[in-house]
A and B are shown apart, each in its own frame.
Chain A
Amino acid sequence: MLRLEKLVKTYKTGDQALKAVDLDIPEGQVLALIGPSGAGKSTLIRCINRLVEPSSGQVYLGETELTGLSSGALRRERRRMGMIFQEYALVERLTVMENVLSGRLGYVGFWRSFLRKYPQKDVDEAFRLLDRVGLLEMADKRADELSGGQRQRVGICRALIQDPALLLVDEPTASLDPKTSRQIMRLICELCKERGLAAIINIHDVALAQMFVQRVIGLRFGAIEFDGPPDALTPDVLTTIYGEEDWEATIESVDEEDLEVAE
């Protein structure tokens, strides 16, 4: 469904953020991208929808190659990739409803969006999504009145209303407390399952990643070091990704928590 071929990103400063990354993601697979800060996780995600222009290599979304697209065609393809951000990235001075509907911007014309005259179908879908994440009451509140967890839910709605085939999720839990983090991760994974979406979730919390995803990719210095199921993440593997550290504690605590969560 999504295929990266020899994707390279070299910044103007000369830093090589991605070194020829190859990756193939089948339909409906939820994948976690782990790795230390600066490993190129964010860059990788942003190179897929070209918020960051890759230096070379190809990105195939279905049959379409993205890196060579004109800006108009790129916008059409971006509609198929919903993105969820670390700091929620809601437009804080707009209402919750406007934020959700902004996910439809790629589908409606400028004046319609400017006058907030969205098709009824979009409005209904927005309400349905808000209801699904439990924020129906908040529709007319301004985004900056919401708590962190609530904002991230709105961010999820905005990504889903695009009717995407793929979710790009950049550190969805980095600004949240542990409990909310899990709720958000669970919500994202449930929604992916319901709608059969593939997702790349960029996350630094290894335990959380193991808990929810089917496949883990370990990134180090812009290259893939590990690719496998979550239970194959042994201390040795973590050491190759992150460097020397006592990993037993991390993994064990995961198991305990896993039981708790699994109920």
Chain B
Amino acid sequence: MTTLDQKLGQPWKKPPFIQRAWLRWGLLLGFAAYLIAAFLTIEVNWSRVYEGLERGKQFILAFTSPDFVTRSGDIWEGMLESIIMTVAASVIGIAISIPIALGAARNVAPLPVYLICRSIIAISRALQEIIVAILLVAIFGFGPLAGFLTLSFATIGFLSKLLAEDIESMDRVQAEAIKASGASWLQWINYGVQPQVMPRLIGLSMYRIDINFRESAILGLVGAGGIGATLNTSFDRYEYDTAAAILLIIIVIVMALEYLSGIIRARVQ
């Protein structure tokens, strides 16, 4: 029992976030040591950076006068290819994700199916787009097919996981009411599950289309089609005005997609 007299005149300190002193200091010192080590090992060629500032300024200025015209043919073709890959991969990816998501939801699928679907998701999530793209380009050759397959594959991991989580957290009573009416499995999914997860599915799909488009912009770097190749070339040639034009187009399309998905999500919810 502490009394007022004991406290009066005593300095007060906020109790620390981590109670054990050795752990608190250990973590702090460890982090500081890491930061110092990291700083020391990052080699920065400051004279090169200083030279680069001029080019950086040029690049920023290029945004005020982007050149859409000189390489308009390349830009148009690359953009179209990116969009085509995005659309096709999103459609196929979403279509495949739905059954896998059902399979990966423990309250819908039996255990063996659940394990298979979860491992598909784990593999797809662990492998990055760009690495998958490198492998697929090696296997299928250059071109948008590799990009399309990469994006479809990545969509499966993303969408199935989030959708499966949504299915697992759905309202059990509604689904049971449908089952109680004597519905078959497919009817049960259609009436008991689908209406509950549909808004989320649409929202996630819109989000994934957005991501797919952004990713499609880099797949060209490894030869998997899309605007990336054009962008890379324009950087290599220091054609900053063309690069700025491409980046602006990407930003505008992403903004438009976000705006659109906002409207669609507001409508379905």
Contact = CB atoms under 8 A, between A and B. Distances in A.
Given A120-B9, A124-B9, A136 B4 contact: yes
B4 A123 contact: no
Nearest to A124: B8
A116 B8 contact: no
Given A131-B4, A137-B2, A116 B9 contact: no
Majority secondary structure, B binding face: loop
Contacts of A118: 12
A98 B12 CA distance: 10
Nearest to A94: B14
A180 B15 CA distance: 29
B11 interface: yes
A139 to B, nearest CB: 8
A198 interface: no
Contact-residue size bin, chain A (C-beta under 8 Å from the other chain): 10 to 19
A213 interface: no
B13 to A, nearest CB: 7
Given A95-B14, A116-B14, A140-B15, A128 B9 contact: no
A122 to B, nearest CB: 9
B4 A97 contact: no
Contacts of A131: 4, 7
A60 interface: no
B90 to A, nearest CB: 41
Nearest to A98: B14
Contacts of A137: 1-2
Interface of B: 1-4, 7-15
29 contacts: A95-B15, A97-B12, A97-B14, A98-B14, A116-B14, A118-B12, A120-B9, A120-B11, A123-B10, A123-B11, A124-B7, A124-B8, A124-B9, A126-B12, A127-B4, A127-B7, A127-B8, A127-B12, A128-B4, A128-B8, A131-B4, A136-B2, A136-B3, A136-B4, A136-B7, A137-B1, A137-B2, A139-B7, A139-B12
Interface of A: 95, 97-98, 116, 118, 120, 123-124, 126-128, 131, 136-137, 139-140
Given A95-B14, A127-B12, A137-B1, 11 more contacts: A95-B15, A98-B14, A116-B14, A123-B10, A124-B7, A127-B4, A128-B8, A136-B4, A137-B2, A139-B12, A140-B15
